[in-house]
Chain A
């Protein structure tokens, strides 16, 4: 008898509780690589999102509703990402989805979202196609795309070294060729002269065979988009041959990173690149963010962590403006949205769903990335090339 009453009381209490909770939590699905090659990027995405969610929940949630993150591992494989996104939309009934890292996954998941009538945002993928020729009304990008990085760098270059002679050295595969082509057209637009280009196979052991060509072209600037250990070999071999003396080396944002910088050592000194975020940005918002991030994770935030952190605040602003999590209303609220992030104010352009933000130019000085300049968002963004809406 007493047993029965306890159960009854518990049931009553439970119903009372659900009644008291005014609204269900807002669910955000995160499809991101948690295993494999890109697990490091996925980790930053996770930290950034979790930190922002904790802050938002502590200050009352989004429109009074708490935020819940649901993670799924996409293994950096679009086929897996699509399956996981389908699950989050259909089974977990998430309101919004983010986290995809490689561009193929973002494009494929964007299509899943379109068919499910939901919205997604990427905080990492930088292929231009996502917000240009393959844009989707259901996909937003809050991080800087490749074009923004290269135009920021080109604008900085035209100020520091006007009319410079530039030589290009890229890795010989599709992505390498397209990054070189993108920077070349951006640089030529602001007055640089191209003196030649060469493509080396991925994983080249010996770059010295290209040095003759490089020398005879007499460039003042070398642009390269090699990455990882290829950068280590290229720059150290150039240093051994004494080629770094009168040459400014600039490159893609993935060319010299915190991961390969120690291995390159002194040869990386003076390397310049354009990025959307640097932990050195000297604003009170960023200092507060870096401190909170370090306290929560014991590591420094990078580009991916900062962009993912900013996304939660963008979604909060959009949902509160829309008054609802309904797709069409949130899409309208996102379009033209201005919100504050550690990188300063960002604007989501209505025409192609690409975020416009201040870009930073960083140079390796004393083994560290130091900010040497910034380019305003409007100078770096380029025209709206989305044909679909």
Chain B
């Protein structure tokens, strides 16, 4: 018999499957109507959902509130842009991002994990601000103007290739990419290592008494989150053809935290739904009124007050119950 956590994660998987089906229908409608804008907006929403996923790995599992995930998102975006401008290869960009993020994430994790709680939030915030200022002033990185002219590339799989300029093609590719990131995160968190992270969140002082090290798992969780954020960020210049220092600003990190809280902390799938919802809402409300930030703010407050466990807090237990009944009968 599976325990409560595995059961609720199964419900998360069902919700991801629903999301994938909905996205496929959306893509089909988009192709039929010859749409470009909504497919690209959907792609952007998925990319930011990947960033939110990384925040949930830290906040929902390890219990670490990072206010600076934009650091790794922006890092991935800049590395990917720089590599693509030299050699237009998807795998080279992703490989470079992966390696660099592990190195920089380990250093960042070493610094940030020396402290706990609110100090952790502040130090992650500080590191991201420092990085943003450096990029903002580095002329080789385009300074405040950012980098434009990232070429349109083909993602080559050997047997087939997808152009990043094809709205539907790149949307489906990004969907697959983010779902794989979700699956990897969900798998890792279901292993004993993942249980250890949850134990850290519940009571870090007791973990050593059970014979476990606390420093390494925390650092590993931090690096994994950094890699998820960076790989999502690396897709951004492929979609939009440019990067700018605003991607590293606090508004990016802050939006990711809002996304996770609205979607449901510790559910992983909540980050995906929240990310898509927030991006679409910002776009739609922003077209009607310049006071869109007030509207988003009120909705966020409403979500925190009335849905303390996020959107997934209502949906997921219901699905978990249905799954349970099925397995019993």
Binding site for B on A (CB under 8 A): 34-35, 39, 72-73, 77-80, 82-84, 86-87, 89-91, 102-104, 107-108, 110-112, 115, 127, 129, 134, 173-175
Contact = CB atoms under 8 A, between A and B. Distances in A.
Contacts of B201: none
A340 B257 CA distance: 51
A83 B287 contact: no
B251 A129 contact: no
B241 interface: yes
Contact of A115 (B37, B136, B241, B287): B241
16 contacts: A35-B291, A79-B246, A82-B242, A86-B40, A90-B35, A91-B37, A107-B148, A108-B146, A108-B240, A112-B241, A127-B145, A134-B149, A173-B137, A174-B138, A174-B143, A175-B143
A78 B286 CA distance: 15
B242 A111 contact: yes
Contacts of A90: 35-37
Nearest to A72: B287
Contact of A87 (B37, B146, B247, B251): B37
B6 interface: no
A129 B242 CA distance: 16
A72 B283 CA distance: 10
Contact of A86 (B37, B143, B144, B165): B37
Interface of B: 35-38, 40-41, 44, 136-139, 143-146, 148-149, 165, 240-242, 244-247, 251, 283, 286-287, 290-293
A102 B144 contact: yes
A108 B41 CA distance: 16
Nearest to A125: B145
B144 A175 contact: yes
Given A107-B242, A174-B136, A83 B146 contact: no
Given A73-B290, A107-B146, A129-B145, A174 B36 contact: no
A78 B247 CA distance: 9
Contacts of B245: 104
B257 to A, nearest CB: 18
A40 to B, nearest CB: 13
A78 B242 contact: yes
Nearest to B143: A174
Contacts of A127: 145
Nearest to A176: B137
A86 B36 contact: yes
Nearest to B241: A111
Contacts of B137: 173-174
B148 A111 contact: yes
A86 B40 CA distance: 9
Contacts of B283: 83, 87
A72 B292 CA distance: 11
A210 to B, nearest CB: 20
B165 to A, nearest CB: 8
Contacts of A34: 290
B293 A108 contact: no
A89 B137 CA distance: 32
